[in-house]
Amino acid sequence: MTDQSAPAVSDAGGRGPAAPALLRAHSPAVSAARARRWGSFYYAEQVLRVMKGYGWTIVMYGVGQPVAYLFAMGVGLATLVDSQAAFGGVSYLAFIAPALLISAAVMTAANEFTFPVMDGFKWRRVYYGPHASPLTPEQIASGHIMAVTLRFLLQSAIYFVVVALFGASPSGWGWVSVLVATLAGLSFGLPLMAYAASIKEDKGQFAMVMRFIVTPLFLFSGTFFPLDSLPLAVQWIGWISPIWHGTELGRVFSYGYEEPPLLTIAHIVFLVGLAVAGWMLTKRQFVRRLGQ
């Protein structure tokens, strides 16, 4: 059947319009070649379309929650904190703002890299449909990660604008904390994604992760007070916490927090190392599960 909506084209002699051009789909070979090349982006688009369905929930959880903390702790409690010496010579609001930004990204990672991954393999098995196409397991994993990374960037940018409006990021380099938050989210989320991909039965593992890993990291990573003010017996929690490493980096860029340059480099190496290791493990688990 001729597509009447297609544009008309002139014949070779230029004597007026000829028959409308037919619109044809790509051949299977062309579609497969494009999928093999751009499959990660195709799957990322699918994940983003799913996120769009609960967009307001994402905004309220990813931005509303840290902003509420910012009001409660940075504006409310800050009125009771007189000395700035304990917080690097800045206000308490400026001290906790980078920590809340990083913590929001890490908590988002704990949500996006757990239940949706289990959903992909077990509950609705949404990974298996794309895998029946030319998309590879690595592309499916990469697409999921790309979509969540975009969410990190968006929610962190919105939150940073709120922080800047409060005057809690006096440095001109404060915007870099958006990238730091994204890196911190990936450094925590990718190893967790690899773990989630290895689980075949839901027995409350994710609830345990939230209760006994995410919450202690949030509380004992120098979020509301300097890490060195804690007893040495619990300081080690901060040393292995992506939240602490990300928070320290965020403070360096937000208000010029002074620390040895080697320690700043150590923060970056720690976060990048965790993210890379998490990606390698995730790729291995996706290939193992989807290849069965």
Domain assignments of the chain as residue spans, ordered by start = 36-290
Higher pLDDT, 222 or 16: 222
How would residue 70 be classed by pLDDT, with cut points 50, 70 and 90? confident
Strands (E), the chain: none
Tokens 């989807």 sit on residue:
290
- 111 close to 8: Cβ distance less than 8 angstroms: no
For the chain, what is the mean pLDDT?
86
Q: What's the token pair of residue 193?
A: 């994604």
Residue 5's pLDDT is 47
Overall average pLDDT of the 250-263 stretch: 94
Question: To 5 degrees, how large is the angle CA 56–CA 61–CA 65?
Answer: 130
- 255 close to 164: Cβ distance less than 8 angstroms: no
Rounded to two decimals, the pTM is 0.86
Residue 292's pLDDT is 55
